[in-house]
Structure 1
Amino acid sequence: MHLNAFLMGVGHHEAAWRHPLTEPRRITDLRHFQELARIAERGKLDSLFLADGLALAGNVRHNALGGLEPLTLLAALAAVTEHVGLIATVSTTYNEPFHVARKFASLDHISGGRAGWNIVTSAGEAEAGNFGLERPAHGERYRRAEEFLQVATALWDSWADDAVLGDRQSGIYADISRVRPINHEGTHFRVKGPLNIQRPPQGHPLLVQAGSSEDGKEFAARHAEAVFTAQQTLEDAQEFYADLKGRLPAYGRQPHQVKILPGISPIIGSTEREALRLEKELEELIVPAYGVQQLSNILGVDLAAYPLDGPLPDTPPNPDGQQSRVQLIRDLAGRGNLTIREVISKLAGGRGHRVVAGTPEQIADELQEWYENGAADGFNIMPPHLPGGLADFVDHVVPELQIRGLFRKDYEGRTLRDHYGLARPAQAVVA
Structure 2
Amino acid sequence: MTTATKKHAHLLGFIQHGVNSHATGMWRHARDKVEWNFARPEYWQHMARTMERGLFDAMFIADELAPYNTHEDSSDAIVKWAVQCPTHEPSTIVPIITGATKHLGVGVTLSTAFEHPYSMCRRLSSLDHLSSGRVAWNIVSSYSKSEWDAYGQKMTDRSGRYERLEEYMELCYKLWDSWEPGAIIADKASGIYADPEKVKVVSHEGKYYKCNGRHFCAPSPQGRPVLWQAGSSGQGRDFAAKHAEAIFAVHPTVERMKGYASDLNERLSGTYNRAPGSVKLIYGLQTVVAETRSEAQEKYERIRACIPPEGALAWMSGHFGLDFSKFEPDAIVQNIEVPGIQGLFDSIIYAKGGAPVTVKEAAMIYAQGMGMPVAIGTAADIADQIEHYMDEGGADGFMLAATYTPGCFEEFVDLVVPELQRRGRLRTRYQGTTLRENLLEH
TM-score where L is the length of structure 2: 0.91
After TM superposition, give the deviation of residue 375 of structure 1 in Å. Answer: 2.1
After TM superposition, give the deviation of residue 374 of structure 1 in Å. Answer: 4.4
Residue 419 of structure 1: aligned partner = 438
2: CA distance, partners of 1:174 / 1:300? 49
CA contact (8 A) 1:11 1:385 kept: no
* Structure 2: runs of 5+ lacking an equivalent: 1-8, 69-74
Partner residue of 2:315 out of 294, 300, 305: 294
Q: Which moved more, 1:144-153 or 1:106-115?
A: 144-153
Residue 398 of structure 2: aligned partner = 379
Same amino acid, percent of matched pairs: 35
2: CA distance, partners of 1:313 / 1:404? 39
Partner residue of 2:12 out of 4, 11, 24: 4
After TM superposition, give the deviation of residue 327 of structure 1 in Å. Answer: 3.0
Q: How has the CA–CA distance of structure 1 residues 221 and 422 changed in structure 2, closer, same or farther, with 3 Å as cutoff?
A: farther
Amino acid at match of 2:14: F
Residue 20 of structure 1: aligned partner = 30
Question: In structure 2, the residue corresponding to 1:335 is in which secondary structure?
Answer: coil
After TM superposition, give the deviation of residue 313 of structure 1 in Å. Answer: 7.4
Q: How has the CA–CA distance of structure 1 residues 338 and 393 changed in structure 2, closer, same or farther, with 3 Å as cutoff?
A: same
Q: How has the CA–CA distance of structure 1 residues 313 and 86 changed in structure 2, closer, same or farther, with 3 Å as cutoff?
A: closer
2: CA distance, partners of 1:367 / 1:138? 35
Question: In structure 1, the residue corresponding to 2:190 is in which secondary structure?
Answer: coil
1: CA distance, partners of 2:62 / 2:15? 8
1: CA distance, partners of 2:214 / 2:61? 28
CA contact (8 A) 1:85 1:115 kept: yes
* Structure 1: runs of 5+ lacking an equivalent: 424-431
| Residues 10-60 of structure 1 deviation map (CA, whole Å, 9 limit, x = unaligned) | 553212111110138823222111111111111111111101111124612
After TM superposition, give the deviation of residue 138 of structure 1 in Å. Answer: 1.8
CA contact (8 A) 1:28 1:67 kept: no
CA contact (8 A) 2:24 2:368 kept: yes
Question: In structure 1, the residue corresponding to 2:121 is in which secondary structure?
Answer: helix
Q: How has the CA–CA distance of structure 1 residues 34 and 323 changed in structure 2, closer, same or farther, with 3 Å as cutoff?
A: same
Dislocated runs of 4+, deviation >6 Å: none
After TM superposition, give the deviation of residue 114 of structure 1 in Å. Answer: 0.5
Q: How has the CA–CA distance of structure 1 residues 327 and 36 changed in structure 2, closer, same or farther, with 3 Å as cutoff?
A: same
CA contact (8 A) 1:159 1:178 kept: yes
Amino acid at match of 1:414: T
1: CA distance, partners of 2:334 / 2:257? 26
1:310-325 correspondence to structure 2 within 5 Å: 310-312=331-333, 314-318=335-339, 321-325=340-344
Residue 52 of structure 1: aligned partner = 63
Question: In structure 2, the residue corresponding to 1:28 is in which secondary structure?
Answer: coil
- Does residue 151 of structure 2 align to residue 131 of structure 1? yes
| Residues 290-329 of structure 1 deviation map (CA, whole Å, 9 limit, x = unaligned) | 11222223343333244434544733332xx212122332
Residue 413 of structure 2: aligned partner = 394
Partner residue of 1:181 out of 184, 198, 201: 201
CA contact (8 A) 1:101 1:155 kept: yes
CA contact (8 A) 2:104 2:435 kept: yes
| Number of residue-to-residue matches in the alignment | 421
After TM superposition, give the deviation of residue 135 of structure 1 in Å. Answer: 1.2
- Does residue 154 of structure 2 align to residue 154 of structure 1? no
Q: How has the CA–CA distance of structure 1 residues 252 and 313 changed in structure 2, closer, same or farther, with 3 Å as cutoff?
A: closer
CA contact (8 A) 2:333 2:356 kept: no
Partner residue of 2:220 out of 200, 213, 230: 200
RMSD: 1.9
Q: How has the CA–CA distance of structure 1 residues 315 and 253 changed in structure 2, closer, same or farther, with 3 Å as cutoff?
A: same
- Does residue 379 of structure 2 align to residue 360 of structure 1? yes
Question: In structure 2, the residue corresponding to 1:105 is in which secondary structure?
Answer: helix
Amino acid at match of 1:236: R
